[in-house]
Amino acid sequence: MSETINISLIANKIAAEIFSAFYWNSYPQKDTNFECVNPDKHRTPSDKPKSTHPGDVVFHYFDPYLNKRIHLHTDLKSYAKTSLNIKNIRVALNSLAMTVECAEASADWRAKFLENDQEPHEVRGLLFVASHDGQAPADFDEKLSKIGRGSLQISKDNIIHVLGPNAISNLYSIAADIKLSAAYGHISKRYRFFYPDLTLWKRATAEDERNAATIETLLSPYFILRHDRVFDEDSKEMLQRAGSLVYYSRKGDTVEEFIYLIDSLSRYQLVNANEQIRIRIFSRERSPQFKNNFEKAKKRYCDEWHFEDGRESEIMGIKIDALNQLAPNYSPDEIGWREEE
- Residue 192: CB atoms within 10 A of its CB come to 22
Helix (H), strand (E) counts: the chain? 9, 14
| pLDDT reported for residue 19 | 92
State the Cα–Cα distance between residues 135 and 133, nearest whole angstrom.
6
Asked if 186 and 29 touch (Cβ cutoff 8 Å), the reply is no
Q: Where are the domains of the chain?
A: 2-169, 174-322
Digit-by-digit pLDDT tens for the chain (341 residues) are 445 455 446 646 766 689 999 999 999 998 899 999 999 899 887 888 999 999 989 999 999 999 999 999 999 887 766 677 888 889 899 999 999 999 989 999 999 999 888 899 999 999 998 776 666 566 788 889 889 888 888 888 899 999 998 898 899 999 999 999 999 999 999 899 999 876 455 555 555 566 899 999 999 999 999 999 999 888 889 989 999 999 999 999 999 999 999 999 999 999 999 999 999 999 989 999 999 999 999 999 999 999 988 999 999 999 999 998 876 665 554 444 544 44
Give the Cα separation of 324 and 174 in Å (integer). 9
Please give the order of strands across the beta sheet that includes 319-322.
Answer: 191-193, 222-227, 243-248, 276-281, 319-322
Distances (CA, A) of 337 to 3, 102, 169, 236, 267: 10, 22, 20, 53, 46
